[in-house]
Chains A and B, each alone.
Chain A
Amino acid sequence: MVEPIQIEGLHFSYGKEEVLRGIDLHLKNGEVLGVLGPNGSGKSTLMSVICGIRKNWSGKISVMGDNLRDLSTKKLARIVSYIPQSFEPSFDLKVETIVSFGRNPHLKGLGNMTNEDYRIIEESMRLTEVYEFRDRPFSTLSGGEKQRVIIAKALAQEGKILLMDEFTTHLDPGHARRVGKIATDLVRAKGLSAIAIFHDINQAVEISDRLLFINNGRALASGKVWDIVTPEIISLVYGLKSRIMENPISGLPLVVFYD
């Protein structure tokens, strides 16, 4: 089975400033890879390179076995679905319209939607429990509801790879858990592979199969959760002292920071 994403020696600069300084990343089939790192470490940039937003990178990136450079914008969009950190349309669009954007890479000819497209849109909305809001303007929804709509859009895109950029960061714990659960359930159910950027290491631990730590544009460590969440690595990445405990409820590592 071909690795969904393979990155080797990725370099990227914003003008003169080098942000990614040789990143390696391997996304295994069917897994959720959590990406962690302090602010400015290059996490979001990494994501925007993979989904085709930023193009002046150097190195090797292959998506589903194909060189990223060889994939057209549309073709890439059929493989990779992106869930951004924030989504703010300038105009008042309905929930259903936004979900329908996800079908764009699949539209043929003059771009008219078929019944099949509508069916997929409806199913995506149901799966993320936003079907009842479909006619409401996006701006009137709560943070959690909005994120679910974005997930629905990504689902409608039917991409085999899901890229999630801090998608629970702005949510309160209740919504964060709910949205996180919906996302991971869908990934498992549909056999997708996902890269998810997290701000909170404990959230990352709950959801991810493997973790990748990034700092200063370099990948510092990657591996399974229990292998990699250690005080030494945390200190290296965040510059903070920590104690790792076992989460009494989930049995997963629980990180407690101290000065």
Chain B
Amino acid sequence: MVKFLAKEVSVLKRALTVVLIVLFAALSAAIDIVDDLGRLVTINEPPERVVVASPAITKYLEVLDLSSRIVGVTDWDPFALSNEVEKIGNLVPLNLEKIVSLSPDLVMISGGFQEAEVEKLENIGVNTYVMNPNSFEDIYRNLVVVGNIFGVPERGKASADDFREEVLAIAKDSHKLSQDEKPRVIYIMIAGEVSDIWTCGTGSFVNQAIAFAGGANVAAPYSGNNGWFPVSPEFVLNSQPEIILVPYYYEGGQEEAVNMIVSYKPFEDLPAVKNDRVYPLYDGLTAYANPNFVNLVKTLKEFFF
């Protein structure tokens, strides 16, 4: 209990610091923000035209009602399915010509495998902001940041606060549970063969979501790049999960995803399989650390209890 409060306070401090810096900068009209790659980005005035070069980022702008300013997204962005917007192609390599032709005031891009593209954008003088959210804390911090970049700091702050409250409200319930009451959960992502399993542990926001929703992630003691790492089927067997989460990628793919786990012979004696507690989870919820996190936590809670 005390630990949890202390964590809340330090995180609050962080958010506060950001807000203070930004307010101070706001007085000087132009703002200098340090992005997630450690680059100092100068925003002279709130961008009117922005190219979002990573589907991870779009939701932030949508939640803050900034969709109208989006002039280009990648081919992989769900935003393009329900909106009229120019598509700029793949995430890597970025089609620089297309981006430049849209005359953006700002390009928002994620780090990770897109990191190499940042240099290319810098070389042609396009203002670039790198956003790389990986955790629950990153999400509401970024809501504040995005709000400030686009000149709507109050909206950003309000949105962040709402988001945090919603998630913590759910999480508070789970805190009342004792460790034994929490179901053993594992997230199984299959990369090819059923024996090629990737799961998430410490460092992944999915792991946080599981914890907030009241589950006990059997992979939590372990970590990897961004919290993701490969495990063998033996690991799954050893941990005897009561709930298995498996991603599906398209509407109607739920059955197929669950089937893959259920029909895998070595897993047939697992509690999760025997008790029919293998749940399909839409990949869109677990792919990006964005405000959809709330839905992720809610969905998980429903699965667990």
Question: Are chains A and B touching in the complex at the 8 Å CB cutoff?
Answer: no
A residues neighboring B (CB under 8 Å) = none
B residues neighboring A (CB under 8 Å) = none
